Structure 1
Amino acid sequence: MVKIDKFSVEGWMDEHENKCQYNIAETCAASISIDQLRELSEAKDKDIFQVSKPLTYGAIRGSAALRTNLARLYSAKSASPLPPENILTTPGAIQANYLAAYALVGPGDHVICHFPTYQSLYEVPKQLGAEVDLWKAKPESDWIPSIDDLKSLVKPNTKLIVINNPNNPTGAILKKSFLQQIIDVASEHNITILSDEVYRPIFHSITPLDNEFPPSILSMGYKNVIVTGSMSKAYALAGIRVGWVATRNPDIVEKIAQARHYTTISVSQLDEQVAAFALDQNTVHSLLARNIQLAKTNLALLDKFVTKNDDACEWVKPLAGTTAFVKFHRDGKAVDSVDFCKKLLEKTGVLFVPGSECFGEEFKGYVRIGFVNHTEGVKEGLEKVTQFVRRNIDDVELTE
């Protein structure tokens, strides 16, 4: 029997997210309805659902419309267009990441995983029998890991390097030249790179005009790259449960496709139709503009919060994505982040995610904040947190 450890962050959300008043833990850009999606489109009269179409399994590897739209996005500013057949759709990015590991690693293999990050990215390879080393980033380095550390972690049996760009929970990004260094290490040892790009392209604090702006690693010329994404985070449509795997290596596509047959067979036709409409050229630019502007507006609120409470918290300001990793302390000692989050929720109705429980014991005092929710809720919630810090932080336990 496979040993499955507790999925801490999802367990925390499952327990608390439907009982809070201010959910500032949710990592999706504020979700939208079908009606709102249509309003964002320049093709408002276009049908989203083909209601006369029989609800069969549909296109097993993903609908032509959806895969074509995704291929177009990945081919932008790339010297080599990505064929639609190099994309497989999945029920969310979590399934995409699972399938990539399931198809490529097992007992006797070694995996290196960017850390801190979403737990499944390193736990699933462990469950499959692989040895996993964490490639750790630290706040004093702006949450950017060391290439020398990566080189030192490589073993003869290293099969996969896993990165998360933009990063959850820190909001840090691995920039273009840094991505090239990762590729250089991987190509030297013929290692496949799995890049979870689920928060791409929410870049709120760096512009495409910056020379170091990170492209999708899929467009950087290394064949043994897999990227995953979804409609949940950057595209504000978590409820349709659509994700994908993309690679330029047809052999990898086939391996993952074969693994996929054992899990989901196909993705719901209805979900894929909504996703295809959202990623159509008539809609996607307005949708992303809405979400990036929301990120910029709310990040300014969070920045003011950190400044106002700088005697009690600190951070490395995020550059992209929807999350920030903020450390709370008292009298020079980190607070117990679980106790902080529980008492905060009880006193104010505000939900944060405790870093020490959900991302690693070493992240004492850290909480993850999902700040790209509806602005009014973020504003009111952060005001409640300020009141809590002023009135109740002395009641929060400290770490040893």
Structure 2
Amino acid sequence: MVHIKEFAVEQWMDSYETWATHNLAETCCASISLSDLSALSANAKTPDLVDFAQKQTYGAIRGSDALRANIANLYADNDRDPLPKEHVLVTNGAIQANFLALYTQVGPGDHVICHYPTYQQLYSVPESFGAEVSLWKSQEHNGWQLDLDELRSMIKPNTKLIVINNPQNPTGAVLHHDILQGLVDIARQHDITIHSDEVYRPLFHSLPHEQAQPPSILSFGYEKTVATGSMSKAFSLAGIRVGWIASRSRAIVEQCASTRNYTVISVSQIDDRIATYALSTPTVHNLLQRNLNLAGRNLDVLEEFLREFAWAVQWVRPQAGTTAFVKFINRQGEPVDDVAFCRLLQERSGVMFVPGSRCFSGGRDFKGYVRVGFVPEHQVLVDGLKALRMFMQEQYHLVPAAV
């Protein structure tokens, strides 16, 4: 029987988010309604997003042509051939996209190298398929960046897959062009497939002025690359449960499509229609600009708050995405028990965080760290930080040190 580890972060979210007063653990940009989406279109006449006359069949099994074309446009690169829509498979969220791509690429006897810390699915799922997984640890002292020399030393004769998460959950760090190019060069040399979870792309809100947005992994001219994405994080539409797999390799897409027949056959026609509209021009640009503005504004507020409590926190300011990884310490400079902190904080103030040691390492690493979701509605963040400030002033001393 296949054994898979408990999905710690999703279990935590399931247990705590329904009764949080101030949810500062959410990883999606502030959600929007269909009315909001219509307003973002800037068109005088917005089409009906739900066609009541449409027969509710399975619809286009791989996703409608219009939706797959719009997704392919997200990977447009002047230096590369356009990505054909046939190289896109629409899935039920990025979580299914990742599962299918991993399921079809690795099995018993394979070796997988995975960017770390990251979303647990990206390393626990390959382990459940019988693969050996090595964690390629990003370095906090270097802005949560990766070391290519370390990657070279990790490669084995049976290394089948390298998994990255760019932008990174939970740190908000970005792997830039030079690192990605080096990664591709190494993978090509050893004939290794690269799987890039790009669910927070293209939410690059805080890059240094001299740095350009890094390209997708699909932009480097290497066929054995897979990118996954969704409408949930950067596009504020988690409720429609639409994600995708995109690859320069048609064979990889075909493998995933064949396997998907054994799970969820297709995405709802209604969801497909809404996603198609959201990713159309000019709606997609307006939606992203709304979220970039919100992320930048909120991150400045969070940074100001953390500066106020500089004695108690350590962090690397995120460059992208919706999450920050913040370390809390006590007056003696010791990391606090992050699980106890998150529980006490929510019980006493209603503020919800995610404990890093529980949800991103299984208790091995990241003691004292919490993941903060900083792109809810602006007032939600302001109110949550106000409640957190009171807790820090009056009850933070009750939080025990990490053991």
* Count of aligned residue pairs for this structure pair: 399
The answer to whether the 8 A contact 1:312-1:389 is kept is no
Aligned-partner SS, 1:324? strand
Q: Matches of 1:45 and 1:173 in 2, distance apart?
A: 36
Aligned-partner SS, 1:334? coil
2:379 maps to 376
2:335 maps to 334
The structural deviation recorded for 1:78 is: 4.2
Q: Matches of 1:156 and 1:191 in 2, distance apart?
A: 10
Q: Does 1:53 align with 2:54?
A: yes
The structural deviation recorded for 1:77 is: 3.2
The answer to whether the 8 A contact 1:69-1:280 is kept is yes
Instruction: Report the residue type matching 1:165 in the other structure.
Output: N
CA deviation string 1:290-326 (max 9, x = no partner): 0000000100011001100001111000000000000
Counterpart selection for 1:392 from 377, 385, 395: 395
1:32 maps to 32
The structural deviation recorded for 1:102 is: 0.6
1:233 maps to 233
Q: 1:49 to 1:77 in 2, by over 3 A?
A: farther
Aligned-partner SS, 2:78? coil
Aligned-partner SS, 1:18? helix
Q: 1:290 to 1:212 in 2, by over 3 A?
A: closer
The structural deviation recorded for 1:71 is: 1.2
Instruction: Report the residue type matching 2:150 in the other structure.
Output: D
TM-score, L = length of structure 2: 0.97
CA deviation string 1:94-122 (max 9, x = no partner): 00000001111100111000000000000
Aligned-partner SS, 2:232? coil
Instruction: Report the residue type matching 1:11 in the other structure.
Output: Q
Structure 1 outlier segments of 4+, above 3 Å: 209-212
Q: Matches of 2:389 and 2:79 in 1, distance apart?
A: 46
The structural deviation recorded for 1:327 is: 0.3
1:344 maps to 345
The structural deviation recorded for 1:249 is: 0.6
Unaligned runs of 5+ in 2: none
The structural deviation recorded for 1:393 is: 1.5
Q: Matches of 2:211 and 2:307 in 1, distance apart?
A: 29
2:93 maps to 92
The structural deviation recorded for 1:210 is: 4.0
The structural deviation recorded for 1:211 is: 4.6
Unaligned runs of 5+ in 1: none
The structural deviation recorded for 1:82 is: 0.4
Identity %: 54
The answer to whether the 8 A contact 1:317-1:324 is kept is yes
Q: Matches of 2:380 and 2:182 in 1, distance apart?
A: 40
Map 1:153-232; keep pairs closer than 5 Å: 153-206=154-207, 210-232=210-232
Map 1:1-400; keep pairs closer than 5 Å: 1-43=1-43, 44-206=45-207, 210-330=210-330, 331-360=332-361, 361=363, 362-400=365-403
CA deviation string 1:8-37 (max 9, x = no partner): 000000001010100000000000001110
CA deviation string 1:18-67 (max 9, x = no partner): 10100000000000001110011023422222332211111111111100
The answer to whether the 8 A contact 1:177-1:212 is kept is no
TM-score, L = length of structure 1: 0.98
The structural deviation recorded for 1:282 is: 2.6
